[in-house]
């Protein structure tokens, strides 16, 4: 296997900060906006973005939640063992701007499932998507992120892994290719 580091160290943090600044441009003080991390790995992105926004906007309330999509996926019946995650949304999304977040946007199927799952919590005014990594040219469903950390052109046999210091010990984005 060949591993190529796409982003780490200070550049990783700078990318998170850039995304926060873009969100502030469109959502001002976040009084009418909420952040939703898609389980399992999008929650780390949402928590980091919320943490950074609170530093930039002291005194402002930044609502952040976690959304499990296990039973909304179109392939859940095909999987041998399902391990659902926890949904934690303890605020109202009705008429709010929802910024859904995931670590990697690839086929678009996760985002479609998240939009279905989100409807159980009300009707948002608007839904936007923030993806830390956009794997372009791989969509099965026509989905496009409103905010992108980095874009990666990759082939189906490659894998993009986002590591978070909270769970993996370091902040890093790696492109993994199988050796032939």
**pLDDT score at 80:** 66
Of the candidate ranges 10-14, 90-94, 155-159, the one whose mean pLDDT is the lowest = 155-159
| pLDDT score at 179 | 67
Residues 122-153 pLDDT 10s: 999 999 999 999 998 888 999 999 999 999 99
Sign of the dihedral through C-alpha 147, 67, 77, 160: positive
pLDDT confidence tier of residue 7, bands split at 50, 70 and 90 = very high
Residues 71-128 have pLDDT tens digits of 887 765 556 666 788 999 999 999 999 999 999 999 999 999 999 999 999 999 999 9
For residue range 33-82, list pLDDT tens digits in order.
Answer: 999 999 999 999 999 999 999 999 999 999 999 999 988 877 655 566 66
Q: Fold for domain 2-76+84-177? A: Rossmann fold (3.40.50)
Distance between CA 29 and CA 135 in Å, rounded? 30
Q: What is the DSSP string of 100-141?
A: EEEEEESSSHHHHHHHHHHGGG---SEEEEEEEEEEET--SS
Structure tokens at 115: 């939009």
């Amino acid at each position: 296997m060949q591993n190529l580091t796409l982003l780490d160290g200070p550049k990783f943090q700078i990318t998170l900060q850039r995304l926060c600044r873009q969100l502030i441009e469109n959502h001002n003080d976040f009084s009418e906006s909420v952040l939703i991390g898609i389980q399992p790995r999008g929650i780390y992105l949402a928590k980091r973005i919320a943490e950074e926004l609170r530093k930039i906007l002291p005194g402002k309330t930044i609502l952040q939640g976690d959304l499990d999509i296990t039973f909304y996926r179109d392939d859940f019946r095909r999987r041998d063992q399902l391990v659902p995650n926890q949904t934690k949304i303890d605020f109202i999304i009705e008429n709010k701007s929802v910024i859904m977040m995931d670590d990697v946007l690839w086929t678009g199927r996760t985002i479609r499932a998240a939009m279905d799952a989100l409807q159980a919590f009300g009707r948002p005014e608007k839904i936007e998507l923030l993806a830390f990594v956009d794997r372009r040219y791989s969509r099965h469903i026509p989905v496009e992120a409103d905010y992108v950390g980095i874009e990666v052109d990759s082939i189906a046999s490659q894998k993009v892994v986002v590591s978070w210091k909270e769970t993996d010990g370091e902040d890093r984005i790696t492109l993994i290719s199988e050796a032939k």
